[in-house]
């Protein structure tokens, strides 16, 4: 049995009051799981209730292509959430799980087969209070890194997606002394206009992270940059245009130690 441990990471989490493209929900049924799609940011709500299934979310996901996918979840509610993956609709054929004692979020990376239905259970293991969390499923590679050719993919298709703040990159590693893995790449496909606040929080080892935004998949046409000498956070404002692609690079500039970070997108209304 796990013991809840307070880890010494200074991370600030805030969430949207609404939901991502998939909608916000506080009711889940094991017998009718909510279908989710990759590259979409969702926000869900669970109760603290051991006497029923209300402290669990039951979801299903059907990948369109075979390969590695990462399931990201994050919360500001200081609860230990677990991700459990099953192969059957009864949620009995266990595949794998991510159930560390983190009170901020989890990330599960696994190789999935195209057109096969996978069943995901998110459990409020702490169960000390109700909890709101965000979820993103995105293609990755076998070690969970996001490269230029396989970036973290996010699709923004509705203005409703910008009503909240969503942490989507929890436990994203940046390795030192490795030109291929000291950067994190994100591809945002936006179909709507929005002014966003992009922010990274350092999760460990006080590394100086820089953010660059490009207009092309080769990451050569720079349009935004934030390179403050900060070892706690980095942020920038981005004016997203409709029907436009953005390519974001987050680099471990200090590069003398491995580090991990969390990432948020926050809408600003003027």
Range with top average pLDDT, 2-11, 15-24, 151-160, 199-208: 151-160
More confident residue, 240 or 205: 240
Residue where a domain terminates, one of 116, 139, 162: 139
Whole-number percent of the chain with pLDDT over 70:
71
Q: Which residues pair with 86 in a beta bridge?
A: 94, 119
Give residue 132's pLDDT. 85
pLDDT at 107 over 80: yes
Give residue 21's pLDDT. 44
Residue 70 tokens, joined? 């990462």
Distance CA(198)–CA(204), nearest Å, equals 19
Give residue 176's pLDDT. 56
Give residue 188's pLDDT. 86
**Mean pLDDT across 176-186:** 70
| 3-class DSSP assignment, residue 137 | strand
pLDDT at 270 over 50: no
Residue where a domain terminates, one of 139, 161, 189: 139
Tell me if 87 is assigned to some domain: yes
**Mean pLDDT across 203-215:** 79
Cβ atoms of residues 172 and 147 within 8 Å = no
**Mean pLDDT across 103-120:** 91
Q: Is residue 113 located within the same domain as residue 182?
A: no
Q: Closest Cα partner for 85 from 74, 96, 71? A: 96
Residue 198 tokens, joined? 């992009």
Residue 194 tokens, joined? 């929005």
Tell me if 14 is assigned to some domain: no
Distance CA(145)–CA(179), nearest Å, equals 13
Give residue 5's pLDDT. 28
Give the range of the structural domain holding residue 179, as residue numbers without chain letter.
Answer: 152-268
Residue where a domain terminates, one of 85, 111, 139: 139
Q: Is residue 50 located within the same domain as residue 114?
A: yes
Which position has the token pair 């050569």? 220
Q: Closest Cα partner for 76 from 205, 140, 164, 172? A: 164
Q: Is residue 59 located within the same domain as residue 86?
A: yes
As a whole number, the mean pLDDT across the chain is 77
Tell me if 110 is assigned to some domain: yes
Cβ atoms of residues 152 and 41 within 8 Å = no
CATH number at residue 63: 2.60.120.380
**Mean pLDDT across 195-222:** 80
Give residue 213's pLDDT. 92
Distance CA(20)–CA(166), nearest Å, equals 9
DSSP 180: T
More confident residue, 209 or 167: 209
Give residue 8's pLDDT. 24
Distance CA(65)–CA(51), nearest Å, equals 38
Range with top average pLDDT, 127-141, 177-191, 192-206: 127-141
Distance CA(22)–CA(242), nearest Å, equals 20
Q: How far is CA 40 from CA 48, 152, 193, in A?
A: 26, 11, 17
More confident residue, 203 or 49: 49
The torsion angles phi and psi of 159, rounded to 5 degrees, stand at -65, -20
More confident residue, 250 or 78: 250
Give residue 161's pLDDT. 57
Tell me if 205 is assigned to some domain: yes
pLDDT digits (tens, 9 = 90+) for 22-67: 445 555 788 899 999 998 888 888 888 766 677 889 999 999 999 9
């Amino acid at each position: 049995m796990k013991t809840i441990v307070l880890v010494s990471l200074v991370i600030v989490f805030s969430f949207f009051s609404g939901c991502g493209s998939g909608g916000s929900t506080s009711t889940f049924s094991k017998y009718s799981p909510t279908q989710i799609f990759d590259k979409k940011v969702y926000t869900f709500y669970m109760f603290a209730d051991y006497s029923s299934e209300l402290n669990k979310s039951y979801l299903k996901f059907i990948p369109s292509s075979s390969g590695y996918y990462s399931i990201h979840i994050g919360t500001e509610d200081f609860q230990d959430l677990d991700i459990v993956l099953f192969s059957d609709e009864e949620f009995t054929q266990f595949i794998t799980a991510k159930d560390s004692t983190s009170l901020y979020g989890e990330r599960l990376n696994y190789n999935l087969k195209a057109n096969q239905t996978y069943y995901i259970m998110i459990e409020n293991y702490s169960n000390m209070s109700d909890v709101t969390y965000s979820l993103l499923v995105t293609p990755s590679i076998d070690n969970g890194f996001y490269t230029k050719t396989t970036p973290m993919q996010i699709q923004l298709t509705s203005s409703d997606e910008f009503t909240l703040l969503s942490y989507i990159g929890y436990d994203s590693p940046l390795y030192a002394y490795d030109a291929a893995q000291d950067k994190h790449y994100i591809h945002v496909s936006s179909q709507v206009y929005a002014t966003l606040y992009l922010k990274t929080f350092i999760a460990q080892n006080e590394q100086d992270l820089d953010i660059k935004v490009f207009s092309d998949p080769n990451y050569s046409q720079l349009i935004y940059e934030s390179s403050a000498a900060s070892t706690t956070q980095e942020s920038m404002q981005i004016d997203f245009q409709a029907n436009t692609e953005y390519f974001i690079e987050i680099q471990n500039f200090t590069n003398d130690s491995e580090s991990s970070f969390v990432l948020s997108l926050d809408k600003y209304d003027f």
